[in-house]
Amino acid sequence: MSTPTPLCAGRVAVVTGAGRGLGRAHALALAAEGARVVVNDLGVGLDGSGGATEPAELVAEEIRAAGGGAVAHHGDIATTEGAASLVATALDTFGRLDTLVNNAGFLRDRMLVNLDEDDWDAVTRVHLRGHFLPLKHAAAHWRAEAKAGRMPGARVVNTSSGAGLLGSVGQGCYSAAKAGIVALTLVAAAELGRYGVQVNAIAPAARTRMTEETFAETMAVRPPGTFDAMAPENVSPLVVWLGSAACAGVTGRVFEAEAGRITVMEGWRPGPTADKGDRWTPAEAGEAATGLLARAEAPRPVYGAH
């Protein structure tokens, strides 16, 4: 029997926040399927403070030691210079760019009344601007390629969260940023399809530095040798497929990925509707809304709500 061709053979992938957790798992999984990988990470702490080169370097070395191609990148992808150099690193080192996995992020959890505006700005900066700028610079390259007659088969995988889809108590800024990433994904998919670019998002649940306290109890009761449902590596196979040519035609979609489960998320769409054909009075509007709510599907609860 012939050996199957690796899913990402010949492709070059960039993964942000790839020094640890989900990003590291994605980088290793892409490399295992034949991709050459630019491993981006600032090496910051859980709250975004500090910085170190070792996490990205260690992952790149791990890929090279396994026979793959990888280079570390330490730029801040929430800056124009860092995002531009990220794309340039892929092109200068490997001669092409096929897949962008936006994954970088950190947390500064607070209840809204205790949330500092500096914390709000820091979290939205890394999640939203840190998705927008790499996407912008990669898209500019792919558009130029398409206009030059070299139509890409490019893929972007953005990272949202269940917090962005449902909300999460104590995570107002994180939830808002992750919800924004979904909207950015939908717009990018609509705008960039003409240039051969597909854009999708995942909402993963896995054990990382950001969630290890949440899943500590689950890990404590897991019998040795059983399936580690919260391992970040469980999410990466979907990311690899979405980052490959095999997912042709799939764009503008959001997937939840957790343990052995993959779910296509279905977002806002019209539910029950009332149309008076004229302007409502406030009392009429309230009566109509009450009737519509009685017919509507109940929303899922916000994470952490009681």
Enzyme catalytic residues: 161, 174, 178
Contact 267, 254 (CB under 8 A): yes
- The strands making up 197-205's β-sheet, listed across from edge to edge, are 70-73, 36-40, 12-15, 99-101, 154-159, 197-205, 254-258, 261-264
Helix (H, G, I), strand (E, B) or coil at 111: coil
Amino acid in the structure at residue 277 = G
Residue with tokens 């500064």: 108
CA 152 vs CA 30, 97, 155, 188, 232: distances in Å? 18, 9, 9, 15, 29
Amino acid in the structure at residue 163 = A
Rounded to whole angstroms, the Cα distance separating 35 from 94 reads: 10
- Label the pairing between strands 261-264 and 254-258: antiparallel
